[in-house]
Amino acid sequence: MTDTTLQRPGTGRPGDLPGGAAPAARQTHVAALDGLRALAVLAVILYHTGQLKFGWLGVPMFFVLSGHFITRTLLSHPELSRAQRAKNFFRNRLLRLAPLYFLFVAGLTVVALVGGDKILTRDLPYLWTWTWNLSAMLHDFQPTPMVLYAQVWSLGVEVQLYVVWALLAFFLPRRWFVRASVVLAFAGPLLRWGVWLLMDATHFPIKPLQAMVVYCSPASYLDVFAIGACTALPEVRKHLAGFAKAAVALFAVVTAALVAQGFADGKGFRSDLGYPVLLASDYEWVWKYSVAGLFFGAVLYFAGNEGRLQRVLSWRPLVRVGLISYGIYLLHMVILGRLFELHAPTVHGWAWADVGIAAIGIPAAYLLAEASYRWVEKPFLKRKKGSLAQQLAVDPAQPPNVSVTV
pLDDT digits (tens, 9 = 90+) for 46-98: 999 888 999 999 999 999 999 999 999 999 888 899 999 999 999 999 999 99
Q: Is 174 among the domain residues? A: yes
Instruction: Give pLDDT, residue 5.
Output: 38
Let me know how long the chain is.
406
Work out the mean pLDDT of the chain and round it to a whole number: 84
pTM (two decimals)? 0.86
Asked whether the beta carbons of 406 and 66 are under 8 A apart, the reply is no
Instruction: Give pLDDT, residue 338.
Output: 79
State the Cα–Cα distance between residues 367 and 327, nearest whole angstrom. 10
Which is higher by pLDDT, 245 or 264?
245
State the DSSP code for 21.
P
Q: Is 337 among the domain residues? A: yes
Number of domains observed in the structure of the chain: 1
What is the average per-residue pLDDT within 242-248? Answer: 97
Asked whether the beta carbons of 3 and 237 are under 8 A apart, the reply is yes
pLDDT tens, 300-323?
999 999 999 999 999 999 999 999
Q: Is 10 among the domain residues? A: no
Determine the distance from the C-alpha atom of residue 183 to the mean position of all C-alpha atoms in its chain, rounded to a whole number: 20
- Integer CA distances (angstroms), 271 to 37, 104, 257, 268, 283, in order: 23, 33, 14, 9, 21
Count of beta carbons in the 10 Å neighbourhood of residue 225: 29
Q: Is 366 among the domain residues? A: yes
* pLDDT > 60? residue 105: yes
- Integer CA distances (angstroms), 399 to 292, 301, 404, in order: 32, 20, 11
Q: Which residue, among 226, 229, 239, has the nearest Cα to 3 in the 3D structure?
A: 239
Q: Which residue, among 162, 157, 317, has the nearest Cα to 229 in the 3D structure?
A: 162
State the Cα–Cα distance between residues 250 and 288, nearest whole angstrom. 11
pLDDT tens, 156-215?
999 999 999 999 999 999 999 999 999 999 999 999 999 999 888 888 877 777 888 889
pLDDT tens, 277-292?
888 777 888 899 999 9
State the Cα–Cα distance between residues 215 and 59, nearest whole angstrom. 11
Q: Is 87 among the domain residues? A: yes
Q: Is 405 among the domain residues? A: no
Sequence-ordered alpha helix ranges (H) in 231-324: 234-237, 240-264, 284-303, 308-313, 316-323
Sort 217 into a burial class: Cβ within 10 Å, 0-12 / 13-18 / 19+: buried
State the DSSP code for 373.
I
Angle at 381 between CA 379 and CA 384, to 5 degrees: 125
Domain span including residue 145: 28-393
Which is higher by pLDDT, 406 or 292?
292
Q: Is 18 among the domain residues? A: no
Q: Is 23 among the domain residues? A: no
Share of the chain above pLDDT 70, in %: 82
